[in-house]
Amino acid sequence: MHRPLEKSPKSYAVAVTLCGVFGMMGVHHFYLGDWLHGLADAGLLVLAVAFSLQGYGGLALLVLVIDAIHTIVIFYYLIVEKWRDGQGRPVTL
């Protein structure tokens, strides 16, 4: 028989709020203990800023759009309680 996974001790409301406010920075991933995902998210934002400062506005915009789409997808999964924390536990109410 399949045993349900233990619920994440991290707050669902905090995770959703962090994703909604600071999503493109990856703060919600750091909060949930998913450090690699958080670093990748933050890296996309840094890369977009670096491209922008170097005068590659088109590449900067492309990276920002990719980061925004990724954030929207994660935000959706968090809202419908289908996202997991860094330990694989569901983030739910």
Long-range contacts of 30-35 (CB under 8 A, 24+ apart): 32/8, 32/83, 32/85, 32/86, 32/91, 33/85, 33/86, 33/87, 34/85, 34/86, 35/86
What average pLDDT score do residues 69-76 get? 96
Q: What is the DSSP letter of 72?
A: H
pLDDT band at 3 (very low <50, low <70, confident <90, very high): low
Does residue 88 fall inside a structural domain? Answer: no
Give the range of the structural domain holding residue 49, as residue numbers without chain letter.
Answer: 12-79
Single pTM value for the model: 0.88
Three-class DSSP category at 39: helix
| 68 within a domain of the structure (yes/no) | yes
What's the pLDDT score for residue 23? 93
Question: Is residue 86 included in any domain, yes or no?
Answer: no
Q: Is residue 70 part of a domain?
A: yes
Tell me the C-alpha distance between 11 and 50, whole Å: 33
61 located within any domain? yes
Q: What is the total count of domains within the chain?
A: 1
- Residue 92 resides in a domain: no
pLDDT digits (tens, 9 = 90+) for 7-32: 999 999 999 999 999 999 999 999 99
